[in-house]
Amino acid sequence: VSEREDIIALCQPRLDGRERDYLLECLDTNWVSSAGPFVGRFEEAVARAAESRWAVAANSGTAALHLALVCAGVRPGDEVVMPALTFIAPANAVRYTGAWPAFVDAEDDYYQMDGDKLADFLESCRRGRDGLPVNPATGRPLKAIMVVHHLGHPTDMEAVGRLAQGHGLTVIEDASEALGARHEGRPVGGLGAMGCFSFNGNKLITSGGGGMLVCGDEGLAQRARHLSTTAKSDPVEFVHDTVGYNYRLTNLAAALGLAQIERLEEKLAAKRRIAARYGEGLAGLHGLRPMAQAPWAESSWWMYTVRIDRGRFGRDSREVLNRLGRLGIQTRPLWQPLNLSPAHAGSYAHKIEKAPLLHSQCLCLPCSAGLTAGEQDRVIEALSGLARA
Ligand SMILES: Cc1ncc(COP(=O)(O)O)c(C=O)c1O
C-alpha cells in the first residue's frame, strides 16, 4: 500500500449527522451502558427501515445471526443452507449453535446464492421422519436457509421463499451488507422469518460496532431479547432459565447508530450516485464488468464491485489491486469461498463452481458515502490506465 497522504479509502464511515449531540447526551445523562433511551429509539428506527414489526439490538451482526439461528430452533447436528461465497460470520454463527453450514454456489450476474443450485441441492435431499429434508451426503437434517444479501444487492427471494416453503425450512436473512436494498419494492431483512443487520465500521450505517435482529413475530423477538440478556427470568433474584448470552448493545453505540440511520436516505443516494458514475466511467473498458442490478432489485450499492477478466483486460484482479494500492487507492477482493476455508472444513459443499472464479476475478472499489467526484475520477482514470490499450 502506498505511503502517500491522499489515500482513497475503500469504505469509511461518514459522521455528518447528530452523532456528537447524541453521544454527549449519553455522557451528560450518565446512560452509557446497555440500558438507556437510545437503544429503543435505534431499534424502532431499524424496524421502520426494514418494515418489520420488531427489532432487537445486539452488540454485533454476528451476535444477531447467532440469536436468529437459536430462535429458529437450529440445534447441534442440523444443517443450515447458505452461500459459499460470503463473509465468514454467518457460517461461524451456524457453528456456534453446533449445527453445520451446507454451502451452495454463487450465480454470476449479481454474485448472490444461485437459486437453481439451491433447488438442485434441496431436490437431492431425502425426507426425514419429521418431513424435513435430510442431506444424503452427510445424513444431517436441514433446518433453515440463511440467505446473505451480498455487497448491497438482494438475493432472489422469490426462488428462496418458494423452495423454503416447499421443503419446510425457515428463512433467515443476513442483510448485514444490504440495509436499504429492496427486493420487488420491499426492504431486505424483513422478508424472511428473521433478518439481521450489522453496523460495524464499514457498513452503510455504523454504531461503531453492533447488530440488529428484526422479525414480524412478537414471540420470536421476545425470545431473542431474553437470550441476548443472559436469559434472566427474574429481574431481582438473578434467576436465569437457560444459558443465555451477553449480546446487548450499549446506549453509546445506539446513540451513534441512531444518528447514522437518521441520514440513511442521504447515504443511499450517495451510494447510488457513486455506482452510476462508476457504471458510466468504466463502461468502455474491455474485460472489466461493472456491477449490475437485477430488474427486480433496488441495490443499496454498499460495496461497488467489478469483475476483471485477465485475458481481455490484460491484468488479473490481484495485479490491479497491487497497482492501485501503489497509487494510493484501496481495493479488496471478495472473500475466500467458505467451502475452501480451513475454518469450515467438514462442511458440505454442493457443486461449487463459480464461487472460486468470482473470488479470483472480483475487486471492490472505493465507495465511501463521502467519496468525492475528484477521488472517483482518480479511481476511474487509474483503472483506464491499467486497461489493455
Ligand atoms: C454478510 C455479513 N454477515 C455478518 C457480518 C458480521 O457483522 P459483525 O461484524 O457486526 O459481527 C458481516 C460484517 O461484518 C457481513 O458482511
Tens digits of per-residue pLDDT, 368-382?
999 999 999 999 999
Please give the pLDDT value at position 389.
Answer: 64
CA of 88 to the centre of ligand 1 (A): 8
Can you give the pLDDT at residue 277?
A: 98
For ligand 1, whether the C-beta of 339 sits within 6 Å is no
HEC assignment per residue over 223-258: HHHHHHECCEEECCCCEECCCCCECCCCHHHHHHHH
Would you list the DSSP string of 62-129?
Answer: HHHHHHHHHHTT--TT-EEEEESSS-SHHHHHHHHTT-EEEEEPBPTTT-SB-HHHHHHHHHHPEE-T
From its phi and psi, is residue 258 left (phi > 0), alpha (psi between -120 and 50) or beta?
Answer: alpha
Question: pLDDT tens, 292-310?
Answer: 999 999 999 999 999 999 9
Task: Check residue 61 and report its DSSP letter.
Answer: H
CB 200 near ligand 1, within 6 Å: yes
Which residue's CA is minimally distant from atom 8 of ligand 1? 61
Low-confidence ranges of the chain (pLDDT < 70): 1-3, 389
What is the pLDDT, as a whole number, of residue 5?
76
- In this structure, what C-alpha cell is assigned to residue 5? 497522504
Nearest Cα residue to 257 out of 12, 23, 11, 10:
23
36's grid cell = 438507556
Give the chain's radius of gyration (CA, Å). Answer: 21
Ligand 1 lined by 83 (C-beta under 6 Å): no
Hey, which residues does 149 pair with through a beta bridge?
none
- Encode pLDDT of 32-75 as tens digits: 998 999 999 999 999 999 999 999 999 999 999 999 999 999 99
d(CA 251, CA 42): 9
Place of cell 436516505: 265
pTM over 0.85: yes
Instruction: Provide the 3-class DSSP secondary structure of residue 338.
Output: helix
CB 31 less than 6 A from any atom of ligand 1: no
Ligand 1 center to 176 CA (angstroms) = 6
Q: Find out whether the beta carbon of 61 lies less than 6 Å from any atom of ligand 1.
A: yes
